[in-house]
Amino acid sequence: MHNIKLLHIIEDEAEEKEVNNPSFLLTNKKGGYLSLASCSNISRFQGCFFLKQLNEKNAVMYKVIESLQLDDVPIQMVNNFFCITRKYDKASEQFSMFYNNAFLYSIKDYTGNLLLTLDTRDIYDYNDQGRIYSINKINDNIIIEYTKYKDNSLKNTLYKIYLVIKSCDEKNSPIEFEVLNKWKKKEYEYDKKRNSQPNELFIYDALKLKIKKNARLVFSYSNSKQEALDTADNLALNQITLLRLKEEYVKTIVTHDINLSNIEVSLAYKNCINSLDGLLTEAGTQNKGIFAGLPWFFQFWTRDENIALIGLIKEERFAEAKAILFRMLENILPDGRLANRYPKAELGCADSIGLLFKRISDLMKETKKKKQFQQYFSSNDIFLIKEKLQKSIIKNEKYHSKAGLIHNLKLETWMDTTIDSTSNDTREGQRIEIQAARLLMIKLMIELSNMTDDSKKEKEYIKIEQEFAKKVKDTFLSSISEEQQQLILKDGKDDAAIRPNIFLAYYLYPELLSHQEWEEVFDNTLKKLWVDWGGLTTIDKTSRYFTWEYSGENNKSYHRGDSWFFINNIAAICLYKVNKIKYDYAIRKIIDASTQDILWNGFIGHASELSSAKEQRAEGCLAQAWSAGTYIELVHEVYEK
């Protein structure tokens, strides 16, 4: 594969490095995105996509374009934050996306062909029958109609998608093109590596657009031809203003007061702000939320949202954070929990309810710190939070307690996969971070009772906290062996496996252990989980389940070795709070690994989901919200004065 230079640049900060076939991802904040590689797409999930809302709860993601390619090979990719540029020996292309189902494509100093390849379909529709493209030119617009039939009889239409290509350069030059009408097989190397099927598809070379020196084109798409035409006209008319506003907006959101002498950390931090903003989505009739990740986690997963929300809170985007938190607050289920995702999935979720109240607590603290608490929290808000919290505590006790601890069923924590039905690593039982989350909720209940002058309830919950904290500590704190009095915090009541969830326990409820006890627990955990490139494995490296290499969709390594960037970032925050001098090496290595991932691995300027334990790589989903949000939090924790 081709190595090219990758440049991150915003205002007076810039860093460049040579990398292998980098890919970018831009979003329209309505669920759609554009992701292209510098040379050849590595995944079937790359290309141009838009989200179509079917009803209040359901939406479909459609793919339209596979790629745009010149008769040349790029030598540089430039991340300008508000747009992406691919540079060649003489020519350059610019891609920009706005708040609509379209993108703006500009090309300078190039005379030759621009190949438009399509792979139009429902994102999960891999049936190769009944795929018909029709290409026409109407009033200087190229209109491509894609019709998907049930089969090759072409009798039953399943759906239609329209692509409009419109010239909008200064001369408003008509588009010249040659129809190719050619199908070809494409192999996706990343999908093949992930064991993700299908990793070969037939894609469609539609057109060769004839470029004469310079051109500016709008690509607009919809299930409605008229809507695609209207969007193309609107973007063509307002392109200059929209570009300027986008550039100004991005510069505004990444402006910060943190003194970062390390340029790479500063650029990675700004990229994460921009990435999280891009995943902050208002799709159709749904409320605003944060997609868990792109290109394939295009839903609101409550666990991921709550963890990622710290990025908005730390960046003082309090109104947006509050709106998302209160949306979840109103959707607590009758058993006191939150659904796994919206739209609701069948799998239960044991941890997102505690994370919700963790983030409400964080929002309260940050608004108080900035002397803006009264602006964002009315007395009615406080009483509502208190009421919802109390009901959740009671119902969790009623429906999910066992032997005095909170019990979760299999796959209900963030470690929500297993290898097969015979594996005994589903984490069913009483888990340490779930107990810590309950303690956090009880502690917040004490605070809210105090704020509302409810002394009776405050005393009641102080007693509950003391008793429950003692039970959790007595149950989970243990010695490595009778001979070695070194402390560990067990992952489960009946499971002494070493996993990084003890960092989540500290993150949620640091009062569980003394300072010295936490240090000892952290010491022994790091011995078992640390990998030299700067991360933590998801299980003890001596475990029979441990896997060094990322195994992709078969889940063999997913929670059995793979190093997750969000938990690494949280671990570094915990280590910093407990003893920043003692753990300085580990903290710096984690920061460096996350920084390298954001800048030089995976999707340009986005934080990946995870890496193999063996060596640092960008793997899993390549733009993951909670990885970005926790990196923002980590930078604030370590560098903010």
Q: Are 232 and 166 in contact (CB under 8 A)?
A: yes
Q: What pLDDT sits at residue 309? A: 98
Q: What pLDDT sits at residue 257? A: 83
Q: What pLDDT sits at residue 381? A: 98
Q: Do 263-418+426-639 and 3-253 have the same topology in CATH?
A: no
Mean pLDDT for the stretch of residues 461-483: 91
Residues near 434 by beta carbon (within 8 Å), at least 6 away in sequence: 350, 351, 354, 406, 408, 413
| Between residues 211 and 140, the one the model is more confident about | 211
Phi and psi at 303, nearest 5°, equal: -65, -50
Per-residue tokens: 449: 């009772």
Residue 286 pLDDT more than 70?
A: no
Residue 476 pLDDT more than 90?
A: yes
> Rounded CA gap, 347 and 410, in Å?
9
Q: What pLDDT sits at residue 1? A: 58
Give per-residue burial for 83-105: e unless 16+ CB within 10 Å, then b.
bbbbbbeebbbbbbbbebbbbbb
Task: Give the pLDDT band (50/70/90) at residue 545.
Answer: very high
Task: Give the pLDDT band (50/70/90) at residue 479.
Answer: confident
Q: Are 98 and 235 in contact (CB under 8 A)?
A: yes
**Strands 33-37, 623-624: parallel, antiparallel or unpaired by DSSP?**
unpaired
Mean pLDDT for the stretch of residues 412-437: 90
Task: Give the pLDDT band (50/70/90) at residue 53.
Answer: confident
Q: Evaluate whether the domain defined by 263-418+426-639 bears CATH number 1.50.10.10.
A: yes
Per-residue tokens: 508: 């949620």
Q: What pLDDT sits at residue 154? A: 97
Summarize pLDDT for 340-390 with one digit per residue, the tens. Answer: 998 777 788 999 999 999 999 999 999 999 999 999 999 999 999 999 999
Q: Are 28 and 48 in contact (CB under 8 A)?
A: no
**Weakest mean pLDDT among 173-182, 318-327, 474-483, 520-529:** 474-483
Mean pLDDT for the stretch of residues 278-303: 89
> Rounded CA gap, 563 and 565, in Å?
6
Helix H or strand E encompassing 455: helix 455-476
Summarize pLDDT for 230-283 with one digit per residue, the tens. Answer: 999 999 999 999 999 999 999 999 988 898 999 999 999 999 999 999 999 987
Listed by start position, the domains of the chain span 3-253, 263-418+426-639
Q: Which of 501, 568, 582 is nearest to 534 (CA)?
A: 568
Task: Give the pLDDT band (50/70/90) at residue 485.
Answer: low
Task: Give the pLDDT band (50/70/90) at residue 312.
Answer: very high
Mean pLDDT for the stretch of residues 427-432: 97
Summarize pLDDT for 573-590 with one digit per residue, the tens. Answer: 999 999 999 999 999 999
Residue 567 pLDDT more than 80?
A: yes
**Weakest mean pLDDT among 78-87, 464-473, 478-487:** 478-487
- Kindly report the average pLDDT of the chain as a whole number: 95
Residue 422 pLDDT more than 90?
A: no
Q: Specify the pTM.
A: 0.97
Q: What pLDDT sits at residue 421? A: 67
Summarize pLDDT for 143-199 with one digit per residue, the tens. Answer: 999 999 999 999 999 999 999 999 998 776 789 999 999 999 999 999 999 999 999
Task: Give the pLDDT band (50/70/90) at residue 284.
Answer: low
The DSSP call for residue 173 is P
Q: Evaluate whether the domain defined by 3-253 bears CATH number 2.70.98.
A: yes
Q: What pLDDT sits at residue 542? A: 96
Phi and psi at 577, nearest 5°, equal: -70, -35
**Weakest mean pLDDT among 6-10, 244-248, 483-487:** 483-487
CA 317 to chain centre: 18
Alpha-helical regions (H) of 14-114: none
Residue 285 pLDDT more than 60?
A: no
Q: What pLDDT sits at residue 343? A: 73
Summarize pLDDT for 503-530 with one digit per residue, the tens. Answer: 999 999 999 999 999 999 999 999 999 9
User: Percentage of the chain surpassing pLDDT 70?
Assistant: 98
Hey, what amino acid is at 447?
E
